[in-house]
Homo-oligomer: A and B are copies of this chain.
Amino acid sequence: MSWRHGVAAGCLLLHPGQGAAEQPDAKPPQWTERAPGVWEATFGAPERLTLLGAAAQPPKADALRSLPAARFPFEPGEAVARPGAHRVALRFPLALDEEIYGLGVDFKSLRRTGSALRLHVDHWGGVPGRTHAPVPLYVSSRGYGVLVDSARYVDFYVGTAVRLEASRKPPVVDRTTGGRAWSAQPRSDSVEALVPAPGVRVLVFGGPTPLDAVRRYNLWSGGGALPPKWGLGFMTRTPTAYSAQEALAEVEEFRSRGIPLDMLGLEPGWHDHAYPCSFEWDRTRFPDPRAFLGALRERHVRANLWFNPYVSPTAPLYAKLLPFAGSHLVWNGIVPDYSLAEARTIFADHLRREVLDLDPAAVGGFKVDEVDGYDRWLWPDLAVFPSGHDAEQLRQSYGLLVQRLIFDMFRRANRRTLGQVRGTNAGASPFPFVIYNDNYAFDEYVTAVANSSFAGVLWSPEVREGDGRDMLRRVQAVCFSPLALFNGWATRTKLWTHAAVVDDIRSAILLRMRLLPYWYTAFARYHFDGVPVVRAMPLVPGFDARVVEAKEQYLVGDSLLVAPIAPGVKTRRVVLPAGKWFDFHSGRLVGEGPTTVDVTPPLAHIPLFVRDGGLVPLVAEREWAPGPDEVLALELRHYGARPGTFELYDDDGETFDYERGEHSWTRLVVDRDMRGSWKGSVTPDPSGKPWRYRNVTWRFMTAP
């Protein structure tokens, strides 16, 4: 007997007002292959505003074509949809041994099976699905991904809800006598989703591996972000009410102490009115913004300027944007409807005139705050907007729209940017913005960094304050995150407050600077090939995701396994995927995976491992990123017993000229020569495009 039996018995009493969403008939979708390994299906009438549409970045078609062939992951009839008048129910198969990742940057776990989530842009407060990046993409351990491209609060049920009609059901066990055989949550055979919209477009990304699926998603979204070289340096943010003079003095402190610095963040006080914002320089604290920016430029530092997008009635910009305002205010400021091109243009033009044009080489980007915020802070879900998109759609896409307008503005100036953003969503892969938040739980932020690899976003923890050892461990961790950042906006603590650890803090940041070619190449791979810069362990070959979650470690680039160690912890466990792994500093063998090892690093070192045959390019210690024409000496470290290859990326580091082919991939190879000794070789880019390094020094870190 089945549920349909009930229907046949005449119990289905559909009410006219309920609409077809209640109808039990599920139709198999029609899938169209939009690019190799990228399939799309449409259910009902999708809304005008989607997430990929809000991001509006063209897919990287060529790169998609170069990926290995993939087969469609579902059998006919396995994926079904039940479109209704106002809601679409989706169902995809889930195998018994299948693990699901993604569905937003969660801070607690990588694994999603067993969870019921409503994806909702929000600060991270522990509610599943509410996060800074609730990207409706899931990635299966079986090597495919599914994106539900809706700017709605989409519900996902990942293996939680067993259907009456399911052919394979979990066993029925009496709880009183069943002991451990009884489960509080029997596992279903499906991932189900509910989209509260009249229609939706779904994309499926093929494998064969989970990493391939992620790559296809990133490339379909436009390829990963490629920051400027200086964006890989160190950022510090000043206290909120700092003046130009105080900000420059802060830069001098870094320089005098030899602590690297590339970016200086100005917090709300650069506006003459903040919360809501004026987007006008405060002339008491910044009497001559152009001179201030020039002084930063001379010191090799870029400014990053904070704002939230809610416009103060006190601002000249207000009258211009008022016709585009939503029905409700945020901190008494209007909420411009940036889904409208005209509103985006007005805002971008203002930022350009008021900030960027003052000194284009000195303005690095913006920090886009409060696009994630509490429901009780932002506009309510019943707000209305001039575009006709509703409050929910704007909430889900607002961070995307602001990133897009800033990215477009910098692109038009042919200057790269690196910014920060607190709320984002699907389609953001190409945006050079790093998510941040107020969480300060060390283990949670490591998990978030790892989880960001399933979402096409970048995430960095922050260092704000703490005792010396606490600060040091946090600095080490942020230096192995996409953005290396100290955020001093609301603290009196400085990086050098604790004298006992200041040398180790400096060393951690200098190591970040030394690894600049490695990081830059990792970002280039993200951009051109869709490979995430940071990869959670389930995206790492040789890691068995069914055995252990390993949510507090990740890979950076192809070779570096990072296991951040929390303040106050002496020993931590590290999961090593298959193969031999070597200590970054000593080159010594640490273990051969699959296995786990317990490591007790000195206070000066973050646990850092290199895979067998791994090549790691480094430059000399330096305090800021190199300029477009600077030529640097390169050191190439080789680890382990296997030969290795590294394709080193380079370009001018500052402009979008790389999009017109102005970049190079240089092949670095280590192999044994005829006598069995290690030998390194350099093969220039076949196009003849230059790289900006001098002769290579080869270091064979593991005994030959």
Asked if A22 CB lies within 8 Å of chain B CBs, one says: yes
Interface size on A, residues (CB 8 A): 100
Report if A703 contacts B (CB, 8 A). Answer: no
Using A1-B319, A17-B45, A380-B194 as known contacts, say yes or no to A324 and B11 having CB atoms under 8 A apart: yes
Q: Does A192 contact B (CB under 8 A)?
A: yes
Contact of A549 with B by CB under 8 A: no
Does the CB pair B47–A17 fall under 8 Å? yes
Q: A6's contact among B17, B241, B325, by CB below 8 Å, is which?
A: B325
User: Which of B47, B116, B376 makes the CB contact (< 8 A) with A374?
Assistant: B116
Which of A177, A282, A328 has its CB near the most chain B CB atoms (within 10 A)? A328
Instruction: Tell me if A216 is interfacial: C-beta within 8 Å of chain B.
Output: no
* Residues of B close to A7: CB separation below 8 A: 386
Asked if A334 and B382 make an inter-chain contact with CB atoms under 8 angstroms apart, the answer reads no
List A309-324 residues whose CB lies under 8 Å from chain B.
Answer: 312-314, 319, 322-324
Q: Does A384 contact B (CB under 8 A)?
A: yes
Binary contact track A262-282/B, C-beta < 8 Å → 1, others 0:
000000110111111000001
Q: How far is the CA of A383 from the CA of B190 in the complex (A)?
A: 13
Contact A192 B18 (CB under 8 A): no
Q: Does A679 contact B (CB under 8 A)?
A: no
Min Cβ gap A551→B in Å is: 19
Name the distance in Å between A129's Cβ and chain B's nearest Cβ.
Answer: 10
Residues of B with C-beta under 8 A to A14 = 388
In whole angstroms, what is the CA distance A454 to B222 when docked? 53
What's the least CB distance linking A74 to chain B, in Å?
18
B269 in contact with A176 (CB, 8 Å): yes
Contact status of A12 and B163, CB under 8 A, knowing A186-B331, A319-B1: no
Q: Is A21 at the interface (CB under 8 A from chain B)? A: yes
Which A298-350 residues sit within 8 Å CB-CB of chain B? 312-314, 319, 322-329, 331-334, 337, 340
Q: Is A184 an interface residue (CB 8 A)?
A: yes
- Is B6 a contact partner of A192 (Cβ separation < 8 A)? no
Question: Which residues of the other chain, B, contact A276 by a CB distance below 8 angstroms?
Answer: 172
Judged by a CB distance under 8 angstroms, whether A470 is at the interface is no
Residue of B87, B175, B340, B387 touching A274 (CB-CB under 8 A): B175
A17-B47, A194-B380 known; A323-B163 Cβ under 8 A = no
Does A384 lie within 8 Å of B24, measured CB to CB? Answer: yes
Q: Mark interface residues in A128-171 (1 if CB within 8 Å of B CB, else 0).
A: 00000000000000000000000000010100111111000111
- The smallest beta-carbon distance between A298 and chain B, in angstroms, is 27
Could you tell me the distance between the alpha carbons of A641 and B208 in the complex, rounded to whole angstroms? 85
- A273 and B584 CA atoms in complex are apart in Å by 58
Contact between B376 and A9 (Cβ–Cβ < 8 Å)?
no
The answer on a CB contact under 8 Å between A18 and B390 is yes
- CB-based contact B328/A164 at 8 Å: yes
Task: Flag if B325 contacts A182 (CB, 8 Å).
Answer: no
From residue A471, how far is it (CB to closest CB) to chain B in Å?
26
Q: State whether the Cβ of A499 lies closer than 8 Å to any Cβ in chain B.
A: no
Contact of A323 among B9, B17, B272 (CB under 8 A): B9
Which of B85, B172, B337 lies in contact with A332, CB distance below 8 A?
A: B172
What residues on B are CB-neighbors of A271 within 8 Å?
176
B1 & A322 in contact (Cβ 8 Å cutoff): yes
CA distance A182 to B319 in the complex (A): 23
Segment 70-93 of A: residues with Cβ below 8 Å from B: 82, 85-87, 89
Task: Check: A674 CB closer than 8 A to any chain B CB.
Answer: no
- The answer to whether A115 has its CB under 8 Å from any CB of chain B is yes
The smallest C-beta distance from A172 to any residue of chain B, in angstroms, reads: 5
A375, CB-defined interface residue at 8 Å: yes
* Distance to closest chain B CB from A192 (angstroms): 6
- Asked if A3 is at the interface of the complex by the 8 Å CB criterion, the answer is yes
Q: Is the CB of B241 within 8 A of A176?
A: yes
Instruction: Answer yes or no: A354 CB below 8 A from chain B CBs.
Output: no
| With A24-B384, A157-B375, A184-B377 already in contact, 5 other A-B pairs whose C-beta atoms are closer than 8 Å | A11-B387, A23-B384, A116-B375, A160-B375, A174-B273
Q: List 6 A–B pairs whose Cβ atoms lie within 8 Å, in order of A's numbering.
A: A11-B386, A18-B47, A162-B329, A172-B276, A175-B275, A182-B275
